[in-house]
Amino acid sequence: MDQIARIKKELGNSSDLIVRELDLHQAVPLKMAVVYFDGLADAKLIQEFINEVLLVNYNQRQEKLEFDPFSFVKHSSNSTGEVKTVLLFSDLIKAILTGDTAIIIDGYEEKIIMGTKSVEDRGITEPSSQNVVRGPKDSFTETLRTNTSLIRRRIKSSSLRVDAKQVGKITKTDVALVYMEGIVDQQVVDEVHKRINNINIDSILESGYIEELIQDEAYTPFPTIYNTERPDSIVAGILEGRVAIIVDGTPFVLLVPAIFVQFLQSSEDYYQRSDYSTLIRMLRFASFLLTLLVPSSYIAVTNFHQEMLPTPLLISLAATREGIPFPAIVEVLIMEATFEILREAGVRLPRAVGSAISIVGALVIGEAAVQAGLVSPAMVIIVSFTAITSFVIPSYNLTLAVRMLRFGFMLIAAVFGLYGIILGILALVLHLTSLRSFGVPYLEGFGPFNLRDQKDSLFRFPLKMLKTRPNLIGQNDEVREPSNDTSNTQ
């Protein structure tokens, strides 16, 4: 058949392209071909369809009057799952490339597409990047349909919407937008659709591609799109009026709009008592400020504002720095750069030795640097304390932002002292207030200040008091109450 030759030419006659031609010389002759990609389609299902449905039933059915081979094959394909017909050659190629099986019958322009996708995934495991003591232990996988099912298991509502897209000229990566109709701001949904539709790129290999291409502000260290591999975090965001963006091939799902306080919260905050969760949140906010400002404050105080230190402490610091050949700024830069290298090495090395190398390396290098007189013991304490406080921040993306900004604060502290730090904080706050995430202020709740949203920002009030959704996110349905779901009425 000419169509078979055209398919082989279009797909390059690849070795994994399977073309099975069948020629049944019965009372009603049937000449057809079954085309699929080995590995993408379920070969066992296709073989059962050919042996049990076609070859066995064809002789029995063709004795009937007005027997139509095309209708027979089409209806017989229903046993495998989804069945549709296509007329355009481009639709035929697209179906084969996505794992479906094409059935081409000689003498018919329409082609039958049989749903035979073979889904292979690694299974649902525990989250590797956001662990909790109490809470669900499942995480998203690299399979899009598995991820949407994890969300639907938690939200059994007819208002849940899943919009499908394909992004990437070559990869044609499947992308799904998930949101709650009636709660989400429709303008946000339309804006997400618009930005994703405007993406003009060859490949989408991870959700990070989508995140960078649709974010509001590219020139900022702060993340304006939230990402997580925890289904409960995504479901909580959807119920607040946010839009989840699921990308096939990655377990990290995006959530928009995102606000600053969201990156300092954890899903476990809602599984523990409110008083304990409030304490932990305060520790996270304090850790954010400490990991950002402790090294620069040490540089400023020791170089410019010694009068702020008690005399015994000042004498002790001066004694530990005796014989150190470098100023405080050089000490901090050396130790911070060394720790960042060790941290990155621990991430890239195999898991079995990564943590051991990072810990042993930090101990050995720190001790050797002190013994060699390159850095003071106080500097080792400062850098270690800064590293520990950075681990308290739940979001890895926000941690990266703090790590970059910390070096900037150290430099301005070395030049201007505490005045430089204060100016840096003012510039940072002004920058944060200028950020937007899909039209929502990045500091929503704090700037502009909203008293109602303080119940779930720095503090976590008891669940019975959290009766409203965030002010600027769940604008269509601000009250947390069951919506009028008519699908369950009798």
377 versus 122: which is more confidently predicted?
377
Residue 481 has pLDDT above 90, yes or no: no
Q: For residue range 177-188, list pLDDT tens digits in order.
A: 999 998 898 899
pLDDT confidence tier of residue 58, bands split at 50, 70 and 90: low
Residue 350 burial (CB < 10 Å; 0-12/13-18/19+)? exposed
Per-residue confidence (pLDDT) for residue 254, from 0 to 100: 96
Residue 419 has pLDDT above 90, yes or no: yes
Per-residue confidence (pLDDT) for residue 283, from 0 to 100: 93
DSSP assignments along 17-78, one per residue: EEEEEEEE-SSS-EEEEEEEEBTTB-HHHHHHIIIIIIIHHHHHHTTSTT--HHHHHHHHGG
3-class DSSP state for residue 106?
A: coil
Distance of CA 233 to the CA centre of its chain: 11
Mean of pLDDT values over 404-428: 93
**For a pLDDT cut of 70, what percent of the chain falls above it?**
88
Residue 374 has pLDDT above 60, yes or no: yes
Per-residue confidence (pLDDT) for residue 357, from 0 to 100: 65
**What is the token pair recorded at 482?**
């069951």
Provide the terminal-to-terminal Cα distance of the chain, rounded to the nearest Å: 54
Least confident of 70-84, 299-313, 384-398: 70-84
432 versus 31: which is more confidently predicted?
432
Residue 225 has pLDDT above 90, yes or no: yes
User: For the whole model, what pTM was predicted?
Assistant: 0.84
Q: For residue range 255-280, list pLDDT tens digits in order.
A: 999 999 999 998 888 998 989 999 99
Mean of all residue pLDDT scores within the chain: 84
d(CA 123, CA 115): 22
String of b and e for 282-294 (b: at least 16 CB within 10 Å)? eebeebbebbbbb
String of b and e for 165-196 (b: at least 16 CB within 10 Å)? eebbeebebbbbbbbbeebbbeebbebbeebb
DSSP letter at 406 equals: H
Largest CA distance in the chain: 108
String of b and e for 354-385 (b: at least 16 CB within 10 Å)? eeeebeebbeebbeebbeeebbbebbbebbee
Per-residue confidence (pLDDT) for residue 49, from 0 to 100: 78
Which alpha helices (H) appear in 305-350, and where do they start and end? 311-320, 328-348
Q: For residue range 346-372, list pLDDT tens digits in order.
A: 777 776 666 666 666 666 777 777 777
Q: Between the ranges 2-16, 333-347, 423-437, 470-484, where is the mean pLDDT highest? A: 423-437
Structural contact between residues 62 and 27, judged by C-beta atoms closer than 8 angstroms: yes
pLDDT confidence tier of residue 461, bands split at 50, 70 and 90: confident
Per-residue confidence (pLDDT) for residue 354, from 0 to 100: 61
Per-residue confidence (pLDDT) for residue 251, from 0 to 100: 93
